[in-house]
Amino acid sequence: MRIFIAGMDGYLGWPLAVYLACKGHEVAGADIFMRRKWVKERGNHSATPIRSMRDRLGAFREVFGKSIAFHVGDLRQYEFVHHVLGDFRPDAIVHLAEQPSAPYSMIDIDHAMFTQTNNLVTTLNLLYAVYDLCPDCHLVKLGTMGEYGTPNVPIPEGFFTIEYRGKTDTLPFPKQAGSWYHLSKVHDSQNIAFACRSWGLRSTDLMQGPVYGIRTEETQADERLLTRFDFGEVFGTALNRFCAQAVIGFPLTPYGKGQQKRGFINLIDSMRCIELSILNPPDRAEYRVFNQFTEIFSMVDLAQAVKEAGEKMGISVQVAHVEVDPRVEAERHLYEADHQKLLDLGLQPHRMVDALEYILRDLTKYKDRIEAKKEHILPTIYWSKEKREAAAGLRLREVALR
Ligand code: USQ
């Protein structure tokens, strides 16, 4: 199949391009390297030393004898989107070209505005270009489990059937996202569903949970193919952060009570889910939703699992709750979310406990790079003024950074 990856330079985009190209698909992608810029803007870097796109593409050609087409450009510019899609005429587009960090979106008005305009404009451009050029093309969009929030009822895969005042209908499940970033994905979902209804486009919206891991089977072949690995407060996600903290002897940081639960997924399974979605497209005019995660854990569960894995390897791991959760979120809540549809398509999930040792081992190689930026681990971005005030003078900061 001809697959276009919007946002090919990111944590998921690059290994996905390599994975799909190795599976025999014709892959093209675009990026303007914003993720590199945002992480640099925060003064941080990837734990893994990532190569330039030119080096990555060259290494891929050298190792696998195949090519991936790449365009440098801004997907917020409609002319650019129209040009690259017109040229390539994809069967499927994987849309990863968004600002993915909740804390980044909560820094201030500029970052909130940037996140929502960037994410919504890029999605709208893709919808219009698909409608104009290749209306049969399947848009695989990366949404987030965070779109649903944490309701006190089970979470279905996108839709639920409800009886209200004697009538029954199947409707989108309510969205109660917890950051400007997560809300950008809610708005995207509405826009995509509308385009499917009104123009007959087809789309799969993947409600993905936090992804963890570094290596995929293909990127293991050569260090130049490694994807990025963020561990700071802004772009690092919970489990990846805990692993990075463990290897430098920094106490693991569940926020608040640490009873927040999320649905996690291994990077390898994330690639496979996207492939399964592409291989099994929806009908024209269909907007469907898959919940893309494999196991649910609380932050305390994660910290305990990393502690046990570390200790098996002779690394002593401390856990020190960050007293004031910087986010406005439920610190204890129900989290019963369905995740059957991708299993029905053939996903065979990896277990988190089996991956931890590899992640810790891999990260140990980049210990110095994590150590060099450890001041970026503890949270400094607060969801509200009340949170910021409550957190002033956190004891952990002094202890951990000593
Ligand atoms: N958390 C901690 N300690 C930490 C970091 C995070 O307790 O050191 C907690 C947070 O308070 C939150 C949970 O872990 O309750 C998840 O936080 P996260 O930073 O791992 O993930 P989140 O901000 O929700 O965003 C990440 C990705 C985003 C994706 C989302 C899926 O950055 O792109 O959409 O995971 S989900 O979490 O299901 O919404």
Q: CA nearest 172: which of 289, 331, 19, 84?
A: 289
CB within 8 Å of 318: residues ≥ 6 apart: 249, 251, 252
pLDDT of residue 397: 52
Two tokens, residue 132:
């104009």
The answer as to whether 399 is a domain residue is: no
Query: What is the reported pLDDT for 399?
Result: 43
Task: Tell me which residue range forms the domain holding 136.
Answer: 2-231+264-295
Catalytic residues: 144, 181, 185
Give the domain CATH number at 66. Answer: 3.40.50.720
Residue 204 domain flag: yes
Look at residue 318 and tell me if it is in a domain. Answer: no
* Predicted local confidence at residue 144, as pLDDT: 98
Residue 90 C-alpha to ligand 1 middle, in angstroms?
32
- The pLDDT of residue 398 is 47
- Residue 170's pLDDT is 98
Task: Establish whether residue 10 lines the binding site of ligand 1, counting it when its CB lies within 6 angstroms of any ligand atom.
Answer: no
Identify whether 281 is part of a domain.
yes
pLDDT of residue 266: 98
| Alpha carbon of 238 to ligand 1 centroid (Å) | 6
Ligand 1 atom with the smallest distance to the CA of 240 is: 20
Number of structural domains (the chain) is 1
Q: Do the domain assignments include residue 34? A: yes
Would you say the CB of residue 331 lies under 6 angstroms from ligand 1?
no
Query: How far is the centre of ligand 1, averaged over its atoms, from the C-alpha of 85 (Å)?
Result: 33
Judge if the beta carbon of residue 46 lies within 6 A of ligand 1: no
Which residue stretches of the chain have pLDDT < 70? 393-402
Does residue 221 belong to any structural domain of this protein?
yes
User: Is residue 269 included in any domain, yes or no?
Assistant: yes
Q: Give Cα separations from 290 to 47, 97, 256, 269, 340 (angstroms).
A: 31, 19, 30, 14, 8
Task: Choose one of 185, 242, 299 to mutate for the ligand 1 pocket test, by most ligand atoms within 8 angstroms of C-beta.
Answer: 299
Q: Is 145 in the pocket of ligand 1 (CB under 6 A)?
A: yes
